[in-house]
């Protein structure tokens, strides 16, 4: 893939987290981007960077209990959409009202 740097490409703002109570609140809309496999069980990789909307989920929710190992370092997100296999290590963003801010790193994608 060839990337063209232009005026729509900018740096990532990183959210400073002092404690786990500063993670996105339950129900907060988040965005995940990545180049992961689109069809499970295949090696079909997209030619265009993919984006999907996910939501922060309370870490005591049954769907999160088996995937969160350390609530001081991790938060759970998903629901209707999810990241793709191969998206792990990529960013998860929250809209601040003025700009996108990276609030985490995708894992278990």
Place of tokens 């609030």: 103
Compute CA 66 distance to the chain's CA centroid, rounded to the nearest angstrom. Answer: 18
Full-model pTM: 0.78
**Domain 13-105 belongs to what architecture?**
Beta Barrel (2.40)
Does residue 53 have a pLDDT over 90? yes
83 Cβ contact list (under 8 Å, min separation 6): 32, 34, 36, 52, 54, 90, 106, 109
The model's pLDDT over 82-97, given as tens digits with 9 standing for 90+, comes to: 888 888 999 999 998 8
């Amino acid at each position: 893939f060839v990337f063209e740097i232009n005026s729509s490409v900018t740096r990532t703002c990183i959210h400073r987290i002092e404690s786990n109570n500063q993670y996105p609140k339950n129900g907060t809309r988040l965005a995940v981007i990545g180049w992961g496999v689109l069809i499970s069980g295949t090696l079909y990789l997209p030619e265009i960077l993919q984006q999907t909307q996910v939501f922060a989920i309370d870490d005591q929710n049954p769907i999160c209990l088996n995937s969160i190992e350390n609530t001081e370092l991790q938060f759970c997100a998903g629901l209707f959409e999810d990241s793709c296999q191969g998206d792990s290590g990529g960013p998860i963003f929250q809209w601040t009202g003025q700009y996108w801010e990276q609030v985490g790193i995708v894992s278990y994608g």
